[in-house]
C-alpha cells in the first residue's frame, strides 16, 4: 500500500477487499469469517456495509479490546526490528525499503510461534476480563 499514500476507506475497499479478500473468502468454505482491526469508525462502517453487500461474514470485534489478531503481533515484531540499532531512515523511501527488507527477513518460525501462542493470549484475555494483558 506504499504506492498511493494513505489508506482511506474507499482505497481499502477498492484495493484490498474487492480484489483480494472477496475472492479469497469465496474460495473458502462457508465457515470462513473475515476479521479486520475495526479501529476507525468511518472505515469500519464502510467496510461493514461492503462485507454485508457481498455476504462476507465478519467477526464481531470491539474497538476497545486487547488485540488478539495475530498479524498485529507480527507488525509489532517488524516495528521492533525497524526501530533496532540501525541508523534512522532519512526519507520515506528509505523507511519503505527497510520495511520490505525486514519483512522478507522475518523468520517464519517467529510468525508460527506467534500464531501458536494465540490460545494462551486468549486465555490471558479471558482471565483479565478483557483488560490489558502481558502480551
* Residue pLDDT, tens place only, 64-115: 565 677 888 898 899 898 887 767 777 888 888 888 999 999 999 999 999 8
Please, which pLDDT band fits residue 45 given cuts at 50, 70 and 90?
A: confident
Residues 106 and 126 in one domain: yes
C-alpha cell at 13: 475497499
Query: What's the Cα-to-Cα distance from 103 to each of 65, 71, 89, 96, 117, rounded to whole Å?
Result: 26, 12, 16, 10, 20
> What pLDDT is attached to residue 66?
59
Number of domains in the chain: 2
Segments forming the whole domain that contains residue 41: 1-61
Residues 7 and 42 in one domain: yes
> What pLDDT is attached to residue 67?
65
In terms of C-beta density within 10 A (0-12 exposed, 13-18 middle, 19 or more buried), how is residue 60 classed?
exposed
Look at residues 61, 76, 107 and tell me which one is the last residue of a structural domain: 61
Is 125 or 18 the better-scoring residue by pLDDT? Answer: 18
Amino acid at each position: 500500500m506504499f504506492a498511493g499514500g494513505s489508506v482511506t476507506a474507499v482505497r481499502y475497499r477498492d484495493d484490498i477487499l474487492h480484489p483480494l479478500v472477496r475472492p479469497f473468502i469465496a474460495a473458502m468454505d462457508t465457515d470462513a469469517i473475515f476479521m479486520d482491526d475495526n479501529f476507525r469508525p468511518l472505515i469500519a462502517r464502510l467496510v461493514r456495509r461492503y462485507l454485508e453487500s457481498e455476504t462476507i461474514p465478519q467477526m464481531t470485534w470491539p474497538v476497545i479490546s486487547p488485540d488478539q489478531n495475530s498479524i498485529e503481533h507480527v507488525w509489532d515484531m517488524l516495528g521492533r526490528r525497524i526501530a533496532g540499532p540501525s541508523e534512522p531512515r532519512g526519507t520515506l523511501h528509505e523507511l519503505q525499503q527497510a520495511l520490505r527488507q525486514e519483512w522478507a527477513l522475518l523468520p517464519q518460525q517467529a510468525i508460527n510461534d506467534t500464531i501458536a501462542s494465540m490460545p494462551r493470549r486468549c486465555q490471558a484475555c479471558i482471565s483479565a476480563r478483557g483488560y490489558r494483558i502481558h502480551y
